[in-house]
Chains A and B, each alone.
Chain A
Amino acid sequence: MQPKVKKNLLTTSAHIGLLIASAFFLVPFLWMVSTSLKPVTQIFTYPPEFIPNPFQWSNYIEATEYIPFFTYLSNTAIITVLSTIGVMLSCPLVAYSFAKLEWTGRNTMFIITIAVMMIPMQVTMIPLFLLFNKVGWVGTPLPLIVPAFFGVPFSIFLMRQFFMGLPNTLRDAAKIDGASEFRIYWQIMLPLAKPAVLAVGLFQFMNVWTDFIGPLLYLTDESQYTLSLGLQQFQSQKGTEWGLMMAVSTMMTLPIIILFFFMQRTFIQGITFSGIK
Chain B
Amino acid sequence: MSNSIFHKLMFSFCLVLVMVLAACSSDDEASESASGENTVEFWHSMTDTAGDAVEQVIEEFEKEYPDIDIKATYVANQGEGQNEKLLTAIAGGNPPDVAYFDRFEVATWAAEGSLESLTDLAEEAGISKDDYYDFAWDELIYEGDLYGIPTTTDSRLLFYNRDHFEEVGLDPENPPTTIDELEEAAEKLTIKDGNRFERIGFIPWFAQGSFYSWGWSFGGDFYDPETGEVTADDPKNVEALEWITEFGKKYGVEDIAGFTDSQGSGAMDPFVSGQISMKIDGNFGVASLEKFAPDLNYGVTPIPTPTGDNFKTWSGGWSVVIPKGANNQDGAWEFLKFFGSEEGQKIFSEGSRDFSVIDSVNESLGYTDDPIFSEFINILPESNSRPVMTAGSLYWNALADAVESSTRENGTPKENLEEVTQRVTEALEE
Contact = CB atoms under 8 A, between A and B. Distances in A.
Partners in one complex: yes
A220 B92 CA distance: 13
B85 A233 contact: no
Interface in B77-108: 77, 84-85, 87-89, 91-94
A238 B288 contact: yes
A177 interface: no
Interface in B1-21: 11, 14-15, 18-19, 21
Contacts of B267: 40-41, 43-44, 239, 242
B27 A142 contact: yes
Contacts of A142: 25, 27
B49 A238 contact: yes
A222 B91 CA distance: 21
B250 to A, nearest CB: 24
Contact of B15 (A134, A139, A213, A242): A134
A48 to B, nearest CB: 9
B125 interface: no
Given A140-B27, A238-B49, A239-B288, A135 B94 contact: no
Interface in B219-277: 264-268, 273, 275
B29 A240 contact: no
Contacts of A132: 18
Contacts of A126: 87-88, 91
B287 interface: yes
B50 interface: yes
A218 to B, nearest CB: 9
Contacts of B21: 135, 146
B104 to A, nearest CB: 14
B22 A44 contact: no
Interface residues of B, dominant DSSP:
helix
Q: What bracket does the count of chain B residues touching chain A fall in?
A: 35 or more
Nearest to A243: B267
Contact of B46 (A221, A236, A241): A236
A234 interface: yes
B292 interface: yes
A145 B42 CA distance: 27
Nearest to A230: B76
Given A126-B91, A238-B287, A137 B27 contact: yes
Given A138-B92, A232-B76, A216 B84 contact: yes
B88 A129 contact: yes
B74 interface: yes
A130 B29 contact: no
B63 interface: no
Q: What bracket does the count of chain A residues touching chain B fall in?
A: 35 or more
B91 A239 contact: no
A235 interface: yes
A217 interface: yes
B50 A237 contact: yes
> Which of A40, A146, A237 counts the most B-chain CB atoms under 10 A from its CB?
A237
Interface in A70-109: none
Contacts of A136: 22, 27, 30-31
Interface in B51-93: 51, 73-77, 84-85, 87-89, 91-93
B74 A139 contact: no
B284 interface: yes
A236 B84 contact: no
A46 B267 CA distance: 12
Nearest to B19: A135
Nearest to B353: A238
Nearest to B318: A237
Interface in A207-255: 212-213, 216-217, 220-222, 229, 232-242
B266 A240 contact: yes
Contact of A238 (B75, B87, B291): B291
A131 B12 CA distance: 9
A12 interface: no
29 contacts: A40-B292, A44-B268, A44-B273, A125-B88, A126-B91, A129-B91, A131-B18, A133-B88, A133-B93, A134-B92, A135-B18, A135-B19, A135-B21, A135-B22, A140-B29, A142-B27, A216-B75, A216-B76, A216-B77, A220-B73, A229-B76, A233-B74, A238-B50, A238-B287, A238-B288, A238-B291, A239-B266, A239-B291, A242-B267
Given A131-B11, A137-B30, A238-B49, 20 more contacts: A40-B267, A125-B88, A126-B87, A129-B91, A130-B91, A130-B92, A131-B15, A131-B18, A132-B18, A133-B88, A133-B92, A133-B93, A133-B94, A134-B18, A137-B22, A139-B29, A235-B47, A236-B49, A237-B50, A238-B287
Task: In the A-B complex, list the 5 residue pairs whose CB atoms are closest, starting with the nearest.
Answer: A239-B266, A136-B30, A133-B92, A232-B76, A236-B48
